[in-house]
Amino acid sequence: MRRLNRIAAAVPMMLISTVALAQPGTLPRWSAEVSGDAAFPTRTLAGADLQTGGGFGANVRVRLQPHLAAYAGWEWHMQQTKQLLPGETLDLNDNGYTFGLRFEHPIVGTTKGWLRAGGLYDHIEVENADGKTIHDSGHGLGWEGGAGFTLPLGTRFALTPGVRYRELSRDITVGGRTRSSTLSYVTTGVGVAFSF
């Protein structure tokens, strides 16, 4: 009987808590974001210069504390080089998963600043001009860090411009030669986030 009384007392408390979380003015627990960006290489890849590229991605965030959230998502970026294989322009596609923590704090009015740090679980695909994959590095761990702003567009939507640094080290095999390489670049872009 005591257990039944405890359950009977707990149910209304849970309902009150659920209603309170749904009230206007409380911070949404979840958000989703889609983004696009330009990618500027910061070093050569296996001795080859890379051209400026770009990419896109999506992530989901869950708020752990008022200013701290965990994120996880997927991203794709592409850059080109004419120096890995003489006479050929090759596309370097790195894609895979991102995960980490994001700190966000009000700066001025409704504008917030954010910092992000986390890991990558990506692979690099090398494609020829016909779009055929001539090498896949296999997935491996890398890291990223970034900063930017959250500019609200109403109560649920926001623009999230920002800058990030991303780095991934993998072996690349092109033309029968395997070389250890590090793909590193800075992205500048903007996302659209939706809170729920």
Residue 193's nearest CA partner among 161, 162, 160, 164 is: 160
User: Which residues in the chain come in under a pLDDT of 70?
Assistant: 1-25
C-alpha span between 178 and 171 (Å, rounded): 6
pLDDT given at position 6: 53
Position 23 scores a pLDDT of 45
Spatial contact of 109 and 126, defined as CB atoms under 8 Å apart: no
User: Which pLDDT score is estimated for 27?
Assistant: 81
pTM of the model: 0.84
pLDDT at 8: 47
Note the pLDDT tens digit of each residue in 139-183: 999 999 999 999 999 999 999 999 999 999 999 998 888 999 999
Answer yes or no: CATH 2.40.160.20 is held by domain 26-195.
yes
The domains of the chain are located at 26-195
